[in-house]
Amino acid sequence: MRVASPASPRRVSVVVPVYNGAATIRGCLEALRRQTQPPVEVLIVDNNSTDETVACIERFIDEQAVAGVKLLQEPFRGAAAARNRGVEAAAGDLVCMTDADCEPAPDWIERLAAAFGEDPTIGAVAGNIAGKTPRNVLQLFLCLFTLRGAARGAVFRSITPRAGGFPTANFAVRRALFLELGGFDRRIPIYGEDYDLCGRIYRAGYAIRYTEEALVLHVHRGTLRGMLRQSFGFGKAHALGLRRYYEPRLALVLPGKFCEWRWGRLSAWIDLASAEKKLAALLLLAWWQPLALLLAAAYLAYVERDIRRRMRQIGLRGGRAAGLQCTGLLLLKSAALTLGRWYGSVRYRSVCL
């Protein structure tokens, strides 16, 4: 059911959930203070932080004397509940969302609001997420392989295993629509609540526009454990989305090729092209034919060269040592993603392998 809402909303609220974000929240707030289109308010929702997050926010408000920055509390653990709390308290008819470890570009709000245009069927707008200048090899790797954007100016009307879902690190939604849909599903505390909302936006008859011009810089995770946990969570969320929103079909991902077929009443995703699966297949083949070890070595060399090519494409520097380390990280990330899909397949009774 469509929600009556203005075709081109102008009153904008910003919602930022935060949990133990003392190291990054100041940068986020500074970036929001520099917006060319100031929001009517910035709602920071603390989610039971145990570090100096609250003190950092209060200090920023006192030092900058910024009107409209409000600190809220949400005791129910999870980014979904924290964002719901912020949107419920918002005064704007359009809500822009980002994270405490993100720094929006100065024209971020302006670009997101403009992307709604005069089309009342655009229920939400997603923007571009790029990694902030990396300080170590792990952050360099994540700049290459995490939260990459969609095609420029694309409009999506359904969610598939490959497209149509967007993270809330750079996302704007009509508040009336968000409330009508019941907000984020807080039973999904993290990883997947954003794609779940996208699926419900489409089911309500609305579209989501992606705009490359609305940019936020993301401070990527600085620990291997955090990266693996995030990848596992992404895999688990993939299995959940497959269960809830994708049309019944069999999706087969092969090296250099993607195939889909209608398949009864069940959706299935089988990825045979991930880095760790390719390497595992070559090593398994080596049990019968030792020369396959040469193929495995050649594959790793190819991956390393491709990673350095990606670095050059986005203007990042890294030599052979960085390329080799990123190759190892890619294998670990791919394995964690696969394990998350397997776990999610069992938990949500789907087929995501």
- Of 137, 139, 115, 140, nearest to 125 (Cα)? 115
Q: Which residues pair with 211 in a beta bridge?
A: 127
Q: Please report how many Cα atoms fall inside a 13 Å half-sphere around the Cα of residue 107, on the Cβ side.
A: 7
Query: pLDDT (tens digit, 9 = 90+) per residue, 148-202?
Result: 555 566 899 988 777 888 999 999 999 999 999 999 998 886 778 998 999 999 9
How many angstroms separate the CA atoms of 326 and 334, rounded? 12
Of residues 298 and 3, more confidently modeled: 298
What tens digit of pLDDT does each residue of 17-57 get? 999 999 999 999 999 999 999 999 999 999 999 999 999 99
Q: Quote the crossing angle between the two packed helices 292-313 and 275-285, to the nearest 10°.
A: 160
Counting residues of the chain whose pLDDT is more than 70, the rounded percentage is: 93
Q: What is the mean pLDDT of residues 82-105?
A: 96
What end-to-end distance do the CA atoms of the chain give, in Å?
Answer: 35
Interatomic CA distance for residues 157 and 143, integer angstroms: 28
147 three-state secondary structure: coil
Residue 148: its pLDDT value, please? 59
Round to whole Å and give the CA distance between 67 and 185.
Answer: 31
| DSSP states along 130-145 | EE---SSHHHHHHHHH
pTM of the model: 0.87
pLDDT grade, residue 254 (50/70/90)?
A: confident
Give the domain ranges of the chain: 12-222, 242-352
Mean pLDDT of the chain: 88
3-state SS track over 216-243? EEECCCCCHHHHHHHHHHHHHHHHHHHH
pLDDT digits (tens, 9 = 90+) for 76-88: 999 999 999 999 9
174-189 burial, b at 16+ Cβ within 10 Å, e below that, comes to: bbbbbbbbebbbbebb
For residue 239 the two structure tokens come to 């299995």
For domain 12-222, is the CATH number 3.30.420.40? no
Number of H helices and E strands in the chain, helices first, is 11, 13
